[in-house]
Structure 1
Amino acid sequence: MATQTIPSKPFEGQKPGTSGLRKKTRDFMVPGYLENFVQSVLNAIDGATDKTFVLGGDGRYFNAEAIQTILKMAAANGAKHVIVGQNGLLSTPAASHVIRKYKADGGFILSASHNPGGIDADFGLKFNGENGGPAPEALTTKMLAQSEAISEYLISDGADIDLSALGSHTLDGMSVEIIDPVSDYAELMGTLFDFNAIKSLFATGFRMRFDAMHAVTGPYAKSILEDTLGAPEGTVINGVPSVDFGKGHPDPNPVWAKELMAEMMGDNAPDFGAASDGDGDRNMIVGAGLYVTPSDSLAVLAANAHLAPGYKGGIAGVARSMPTSAASDRVAEKLGVASFETPTGWKFFGNLLDAGKVTICGEESAGTGSDHVREKDGLWAVLLWLNILAVRKQSVGDMMADHWQTYGRDYYSRHDYEALPTDVANAVMEDLKSDLDGLAGRKVGAITVSKADNFSYDDPVDGSTSPNQGIRIFFESGARAVFRLSGTGTEGATLRVYLQHYVDGEGALFEEPQAALAPIIAAAHQIAGLSRLDRDGPDVRT
């Protein structure tokens, strides 16, 4: 076996976004494309010599082949040790935990998260640092600079590693350890939650359905929910990971988790429903006949976390992404702890978590997590819900009613306009920016704009500033509309419109959300001129 130095030249557009580099699978399969990006990452972190890395992904098409390439490049660049999930599988939160537990120098996570998989769908790769969290902006900037100047990459000509064989292997002098992808993560969950209480809940006849969406959390959910906690066999559906996610879209929301939603909204629905996404970092929570928005779920978890052993001392604070509703802010205020509003992207929570300023974080895009890892964690959120339900002995519907009566309700929805022509989507945002100064005082229908801005974040830990994070429009009623372009799509542009309207605990708490938000929706459309999109409505409404 020998190291090969392969001449190369830059590929355009290898700029990591909020969750690494995401492109079409066929783009990553172009000879040299994956190799260039991996070498750029290794160059940006000052090389791989004598370092230990964690490696795994969500099992989507090209996952196994990409892992073999990364192993050979790590060996050629002098890495000492790589820990790999069996069969190339590691959920994103599990990878974060393994990085932290084994004190690795970082990890390569292969996933496009909730995006579809397959040769004609999406693929992604990101690097997480030694804290287990996504690379900060300073590092992703270095990665981009390296990708724009690359002239060669290093790769071993060694044989492929058998990813199914647990135990130790050697590749060109580098040790490769294949581990059970579930065991370390399951052990961690057992330290955070009262498994006996959850077992007792299931023993009473409590019924649950967990939709793994043919993605990576299937083995995790089956092991923990059915094998350890005693949920009946069949509680986990779509539990075998598939390279194309069963030809589905592994995004846990009411639009794509149709099978679960139909059961939870039907007659004789289970008591509790949940789903997770492609790489296991997102979650959806559903009660019998009731969808719980991610913003509300974050608030409920923050308010009740002390009921789980891992958080019995209380929480230090709560952080949410800017587009997420202010429901968790109201909980933080009542608890007397800090609350933070950050840009979209889990890496912004990392500094707050590392500094001990917050314990629980969440995004409206169905990501919730805590200081146990440095990623959002779908199954963790489900287990915390189960622990809370086991202690409070209430239904999801009753618990939400109690929460809204205590804190008020933030009616909330996100409208996605997908695969737009990039120039059209950019024009919407540019026009909003140019109109900002004149929006205050503008009357739109029956409501009036109080102020508008382009959100900028000053990190309280490292002092960095992240400008241009989304347009916020506030109304005198206390409602809000937010506009931003998504950084997770791979085709055209996705415009996201976030809508929020607050009523206090004495107000109308049980309206249909789209109806409650109707005046805000109409105002947002008029202000942004969304008629130019030539769409009958959003492609996805959650």
Structure 2
Amino acid sequence: MSDDIVIKTVATKPYLDQMPGTSGLRKKVPVFQQENYPENFIQSIFDVSGDVKGKKLVIGGDGRFYNDQVIQKAIRLAVANGFGHVMIGQNGILSTPAVSNLIRKYKALGGIVLSASHNPGGPKQDFGIKYNISNGGPAPEKFTNAAFERSKVIDQYLTVETSDIDLSQIGKHQIGATTIEIIDSVADYAEMMEDIFDFDAIRAYIQSGFTLQFDAMHAVTGPYAKEIFEKRLGAAEGSVINAVPLPDFGGQHPDPNLIYAKGLYDLLMSDNAPDFGAASDGDGDRNMIIGRGMFVAPSDSLAVLAANAHLVPAYSAGLKGIARSMPTSCAADRVAEKLKIGMYEVPTGWKFFGNLLDHQMATICGEESAGTSSDHVREKDGLWAVLLWLNILAVRRQSVADIVNEHWRHFGRNYYSRHDFEGVDTEVANKVMQRLRGELASLAGTSIDGQTIEKADDFAYHDPVDQSVSAHQGIRILFDNGSRIVVRLSGTGTTGATIRIYIERYEADEDKLALDTQEALAELIAIAEKIIQVKAITGFETPTAII
């Protein structure tokens, strides 16, 4: 079948409120439903991608509302722009790490990920489009800045008039010179996991009586988890719950944390708890780990996984290095020091890990917002983190609680918490940050409630590979005893701004390793308000979320 290319003229400046430097566009569904809105963004990406003629493109998403319609639009744009081969997950489903794997495995030019990550879905909720480049990772700032600039002047996009592709049936279609291939969403990813982990050891541990429950939160990881945990590893049927991806995630918020996955937490704290519990988010790149009676904070999980990764086949030769986002606790730093390997602190955003991974400077990376992964892909990978935990448990034959407590005894504990102030008026949020930036020079050397500030700065990252500099990545207030307060604005929401405050202190005394986190941090929390004045300026009496 051959289709004529129909060029349409579209309105200029379709999304000037989307700041440059982000890896994608995230707005409410009604915004995306404006005429030509997704087409403008996708065409801007293609326009700055160089020669796309004959190249391969991957498309998939987390199944949220509007996912299927935007895929059809993207197919038409890809055909009209001359891509030779477009690979799409069955039913439009592909987790973010699965997209990264497909790009790398099949040497695609890039991939379009349709997701708003852990944000709610539905007709009035959130939607997003993100572009991953040829290494499988999120597009870097240089690329996204170029796409943003292009979007300011774009006046046309290329499309073809053709019937919709049936996304439910695996197979190939030909539109002009472009092959459209609907693929099994899970197979390539599951095969990669079997190459990384000792599935025989995990399977034997499950057969010995080890029990687990995984909550897919009606998001993208349901089909992956059913295939891997129940079919390939032999976990009992029903070990994976909320396994069917739904356009509105069942009316729930697909963010695996103690607020939105409280049911799983309560189960693991109960008398009928399985040995292990885990969850993942909307697009499959985040994870939550809970053992019987033990919640594992993401920063601790990164440190424990790094310290035990050598027990897994793919990492048996050791790690090349560890990288973490700047707000993530320093727990992993102590592991890197013990292992005598590199430790890298980067800005928030997975794209900043790409150069380190590509140049074999780091093997495992993590963010405090429950994102953990390794050099097998260039994205966060929720199921990978769960499988790494399972492999370690299968080898050590200890409980999650025993492993974490032993880790703290050996390395000490970094008490750590994040206080979010969500939905803050953007102008007010900027006022908080601007006032704090103006105070930085005067903070160093001062003492507040007996705590001496050693350094205060606005974090700037100097990439050791390409020498690029990313400035204004969050404010750090560092105390002489190793404690930290970090403040930054988050870009993951679609309404207003979120001020995130991270509080951390290190404890080496074995008699003080089992304190309540908020109690252990109470003094620093009070100091943070005195310095930042977030409550006084915003009018918020308490954080909207404490994680």
For Structure 1 versus Structure 2, the TM-score category normalised by the shorter chain is: over 0.9
Alignment of 1:383-422 (within 5 A): 383-422=387-426
C-alpha displacement at 1:16, in angstroms? 5.2
Of 524, 535, 543, 1:538 maps to: 543
Consecutive unaligned residues in structure 2, runs of 5 or more: none
Partner of 1:54: 58
Counterpart AA for 2:518:
Q
Q: Over the residues paired in the alignment, what is the CA RMSD in angstroms?
A: 1.0
**Structure 1 counterpart of 2:136, one-letter code:** G
Residue 478 (structure 1) shift: 1.6
Question: 1:242 is matched with which residue?
Answer: 246
Which secondary structure does the structure 2 equivalent of 1:323 belong to? coil
Residue 271 of structure 1: which of 267, 272, 275 is its match?
A: 275
Distance 1:439 1:472, change over 3 A: same
Partners of 2:532 and 2:75 lie apart in 1 by 48
8 Å Cα contact 1:19/1:488 also seen in 2:
no
Residue matched to 2:190: 186
Contact 2:23–2:144 at 8 Å: present in 1 too?
no
Q: Does 1:227 align with 2:243?
A: no
Give the Cα–Cα distance (whole angstroms) in 1 for the partners of residues 324 and 169 of structure 2: 40
> What residue in structure 1 maps to residue 500 of structure 2?
496
Q: Measure the CA separation in 2 of the matches of 1:204 and 1:287.
A: 17
Aligned partners of 2:230 and 2:239 also within 8 Å:
yes
Q: Using the alignment, how far apart are the partners of 2:21 and 2:127 within structure 1? A: 13
Which residue of the partner structure matches residue 172 of structure 2?
168
Within a 5 Å distance, the mapping from 1:194-343 to structure 2 comes to 194-343=198-347
> Is residue 352–residue 358 contact of structure 1 (8 Å, CA) maintained in 2?
yes
What residue identity is the alignment partner of 1:188?
M
| Contact persistence 2:279–2:287 (CA under 8 A) | yes
Residues 351 and 328 of structure 1, relative CA distance in 2, 3 Å threshold: same
The residue identity in structure 2 corresponding to 1:499 is I
| Residue 153 of structure 1: aligned partner | 157
Relative to 1, partners in 2 of residues 1:541 and 1:305: Cα closer, same or farther, differing over 3 Å?
same
Match of 1:519 in 2: 523
Q: Which secondary structure state, in structure 1, belongs to the residue aligned with residue 409 of structure 2?
A: helix
1:412 and 1:517 in contact (8 A); partners too: yes
Does the Cα contact within 8 Å between 2:454 and 2:480 map onto a contact in 1? yes
The AA in structure 2 aligned to 1:102 is: Y
Aligned-pair CA distance for 1:420: 0.5
Amino acid at match of 2:13: P
Q: What CA distance in whole angstroms lies between the structure 2 residues aligned with 1:149 and 1:271?
A: 56
Q: Which structure 1 residue ranges, 5 or more long, are not aligned?
A: none
**CA distance in 2 between partners of 1:152 and 1:209 (Å):** 49
Q: Secondary structure at the match of 2:512?
A: coil
8 Å contact kept, 1:193–1:308 = yes
* Aligned counterpart in structure 2 of residue 36 of structure 1, from 35, 40, 62: 40
Give per-residue Cα distances to partners, 1:283-326, cap 9 Å, x unaligned.
01111121111100000110000101111111100000000001
Q: Is the 8 A contact 2:21 2:141 kept in 1?
A: no
CA contact (8 A) 1:18 1:346 kept: no
Aligned residue number for residue 483 of structure 1:
487
Distance 1:32 1:63 in 2: 15
Alpha-carbon separation, structure 2, partners of 1:100 and 1:291? 34
SS of the equivalent of 1:124 reads strand
Q: Is the Cα contact below 8 Å between 2:21 and 2:142 reproduced in 1? A: no
Of 485-494 and 443-452, deviating more is 443-452
1:67 paired to 2:71: yes
Per-residue CA distance 1:26-71 (angstroms, 9 max, x = gap): 1111111101001100001124221110000000000000000000
Q: Could you tell me whether the CA contact under 8 Å between 2:455 and 2:478 is conserved in 1?
A: yes
Checking the alignment, whether the CA contact within 8 Å between 1:182 and 1:219 is kept in structure 2 is: yes
Distance 2:511 2:53 in 1: 61
**Is residue 21–residue 145 contact of structure 2 (8 Å, CA) maintained in 1?**
no
How far residue 447 of structure 1 moved from its aligned partner, in angstroms, is 2.0
In 1, the alpha carbon distance for the partners of 2:281 and 2:20 equals 21
Matched letter for residue 2 of structure 1: D
**2:10 is aligned with 1:5:** no
Q: Distance in 2 between matches of 1:446 and 1:242?
A: 52
Quote the Cα distance in structure 1 between the aligned partners of 2:54 and 2:215: 41
TM-fit CA distance, 1:431? 0.7
Aligned pairs, number: 542
**TM norm structure 2:** 0.98
CA offsets per residue over residues 219-274 of structure 1, 9 Å max, x none? 00010000110111111111110101111111111011021111112222111110
1:536 Cα deviation after fit = 2.5
Q: Find the residue that maps to 1:414 and give its secondary structure.
A: strand
Asked if residue 350 in structure 1 is aligned to residue 354 in structure 2, the reply is yes
Q: What is the CA-CA distance between 1:441 and the residue it aligns to?
A: 2.7
SS of equivalent residue, structure 1 residue 94: helix
Give the CA deviation at 1:446: 3.4
Deviation of 1:93 (Å):
0.2
CA distance in 2, matches of 1:512, 1:290: 13
User: Is 1:140 matched up with 2:144?
Assistant: yes
- Taking a change above 3 Å as real, the CA distance of residues 19 and 252 of structure 1, as seen in their structure-2 partners, is farther
**1:98 equivalent among 96, 102, 127:** 102
Q: 1:89 aligns with which of 85, 88, 93?
A: 93
Letter of the 1:512 partner, please give it: D
Please say if residues 217 and 241 of structure 2, whose CA atoms lie closer than 8 Å, have aligned partners that are also in contact: yes
What is the one-letter code of the residue matched to 1:4? V
1:98 and 1:76 map into 2 onto residues whose CA distance is 22
Correspondences of 1:430-449 after superposition (within 5 Å): 430-449=434-453
